[in-house]
């Protein structure tokens, strides 16, 4: 949306909100003056912050400016969305009021819809505040069990932990939380740890000084990872193609310094006694506008169908479009969707707006003998909070039939 249209739309909503508050809520002049001055000061503060951050991002893009922009945007949503909600209800209230006056031929006060909108706006504000302060760090462990007649007996009961979408730059203000994540993982005593991409938002320096934290993750049979779409640095402007390439090289070094075996369109064997299983991994592969760096055929070229094979692919659309049709892959782990960081998974309800973009967006899915697990991610992107979609650590046990 062009900047001019955005500004006009914001002013219309702002004026509607203030008019509705003055007409139906704040009758006291002193209260009204205090309220409008607070609103003006906050509006100017946000506009100033956005202007400064846009300048910094366009002139010297770096992860600190990106993170500050994400937080500024998130708290602006706390400031703006309840106002937008109230404005919509106020307009609806006025339309209904004048319609009733026309039908009944009677002049009367009517503000029940506005008051309902105010109540909902307060709830929305509380929800957003919870998401920003608590929800984003309310880590959950999803326990899942799969049974396979293809898994070797020596691997029966193998414990796998999956991580995804750390977006480590988003933890800039609370890196201590990363230590808590590692402690949770180690307390699960996994045999294998899988990380399905998006270590960073864009920049390699997001992970500087943090390698040792993730290196502490213990997994006797190995730690494996693939690159996500954000790891390729496609969401910022680089001075030269070489700068972007160097950034990716440094991100790869971070993966390795954290102790992960980074699989780039390739497969490797895990042995336990005389038996083995295969871990395969591809670079990010998604439907447009996401790029398809992954090469599935190359990754499974030497895979023997008789071996139980686990595939790592960041974007779940890859499983839906290609992987699930292969007889060589038994189980795929993905992430990417974040569950949109908004939804509900209680009382038998599983819903998020992201379902209208991704067929497989969270949890376990099956197509004949092929299984997919989509992790809801650990970090945040854009909006720095989570409502009903807590950051997830997947704990899966695979048993032989």
Instruction: Report whether pLDDT(109) > 70.
Output: yes
Q: Can you give the pLDDT at residue 3? A: 59
**pTM of the predicted structure, to 2 decimals:** 0.92
Question: Could you state, in order of their start, the residue ranges of all structural domains in the chain?
Answer: 3-133, 140-400
* Predicted confidence (pLDDT) per residue in 36-60, tens digit: 999 999 999 998 998 898 888 888 7
Q: Can you give the pLDDT at residue 54? A: 85
Cis omega (within 30 of 0) on the bond before 103? no
**What distance in Å separates the CA atoms of residue 60 and residue 306, rounded to the nearest whole number?**
52
Distances (CA, A) of 28 to 14, 89, 109, 309: 20, 22, 18, 69
Q: Helix and strand tally (H, E) in the chain?
A: 9, 14
Indicate the SS3 state at residue 279. Answer: strand
Q: How many CB atoms lie within 10 A of CB 140?
A: 14
Instruction: Report whether pLDDT(1) > 60.
Output: no
Distances (CA, A) of 314 to 9, 286, 317, 318, 349: 37, 8, 9, 8, 25
Query: Is residue 282 within 8 Å of 313, Cβ to Cβ?
Result: yes
Average pLDDT score, the chain: 93
> How much is the average pLDDT of 283-301?
95
**What distance in Å separates the CA atoms of residue 219 and residue 300, rounded to the nearest whole number?**
24
Q: What is the bridge-based pairing of β-strands 192-195 and 158-163?
A: parallel
Q: Can you give the pLDDT at residue 355? A: 95
**What distance in Å separates the CA atoms of residue 159 and residue 186, rounded to the nearest whole number?**
12
Q: Can you give the pLDDT at residue 55? A: 85
Tell me which CATH code domain 140-400 carries: 3.60.21.10
Indicate the SS3 state at residue 103. Answer: helix
Query: Is residue 320 within 8 Å of 360, Cβ to Cβ?
Result: yes
* Predicted confidence (pLDDT) per residue in 66-98, tens digit: 899 999 999 999 999 999 999 999 999 999 998
**What distance in Å separates the CA atoms of residue 162 and residue 362, rounded to the nearest whole number?**
13
**Confidence category of residue 10, pLDDT binned at 50, 70, 90:** confident
Transcribe 310-338 into DSSP letters: EEE-SSHHHHHHTGGG-TT-SEEEE--SG
* Predicted confidence (pLDDT) per residue in 117-142, tens digit: 999 999 999 999 999 999 999 999 99
Query: Is residue 354 within 8 Å of 360, Cβ to Cβ?
Result: no
Q: Can you give the pLDDT at residue 343? A: 95
Burial of 356 (0-12, 13-18, 19+ CB in 10 A): exposed
Instruction: Report whether pLDDT(337) > 70.
Output: yes
């Amino acid at each position: 949306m062009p900047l001019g249209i955005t500004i006009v739309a914001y002013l219309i909503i702002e004026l509607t909100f203030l008019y509705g508050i003055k007409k139906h809520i704040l009758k006291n002049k002193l209260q009204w003056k205090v309220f409008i001055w607070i609103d003006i000061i906050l509006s100017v503060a946000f506009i100033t912050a956005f202007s400064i951050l846009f300048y910094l991002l366009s002139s010297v893009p770096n992860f600190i400016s990106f993170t500050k922009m994400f937080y500024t945007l998130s708290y602006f949503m706390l400031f703006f969305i309840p106002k937008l909600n109230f404005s919509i209800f106020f307009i609806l209230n006025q339309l209904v009021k004048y319609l009733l006056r026309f039908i009944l031929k009677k002049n009367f006060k009517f503000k029940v819809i506005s008051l309902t909108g105010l109540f909902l706006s307060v709830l929305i504000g509380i929800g957003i505040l919870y998401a920003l302060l608590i929800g984003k760090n309310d880590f959950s462990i999803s326990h899942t069990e799969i049974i396979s007649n293809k898994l070797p007996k020596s691997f029966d009961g193998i414990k796998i932990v999956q991580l995804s979408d750390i977006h480590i730059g988003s933890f800039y203000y609370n890196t201590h939380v990363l230590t808590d994540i590692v402690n949770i993982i180690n307390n699960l005593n996994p045999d294998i740890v899988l990380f399905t991409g998006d270590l960073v938002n864009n920049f390699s320096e997001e992970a500087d000084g943090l390698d040792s934290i993730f290196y502490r993750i213990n997994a006797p049979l190995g730690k494996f990872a693939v690159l996500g779409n954000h790891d390729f640095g496609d969401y910022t402007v680089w001075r030269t193609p070489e700068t972007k390439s160097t950034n990716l090289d440094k991100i790869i070094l971070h993966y390795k310094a954290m102790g992960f075996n980074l699989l780039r369109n390739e497969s490797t064997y895990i042995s336990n006694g005389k038996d083995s299983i295969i871990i395969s991994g591809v670079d990010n592969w998604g439907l447009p506008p996401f790029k398809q760096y992954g090469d599935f055929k190359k990754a499974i070229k030497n895979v023997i169908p008789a071996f139980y094979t686990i595939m790592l692919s960041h974007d779940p659309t890859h499983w839906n479009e290609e992987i699930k049709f292969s007889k060589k892959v038994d189980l795929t782990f993905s992430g990417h969707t974040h569950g949109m960081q908004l939804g509900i998974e209680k009382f038998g309800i599983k819903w998020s707006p992201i379902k209208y973009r991704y067929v497989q967006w969270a949890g376990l899915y099956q197509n004949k003998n092929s299984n997919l697990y989509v992790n809801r991610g650990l970090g945040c992107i854009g909006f720095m909070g989570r409502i009903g979609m807590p950051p997830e650590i997947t704990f899966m046990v695979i048993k032989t039939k």
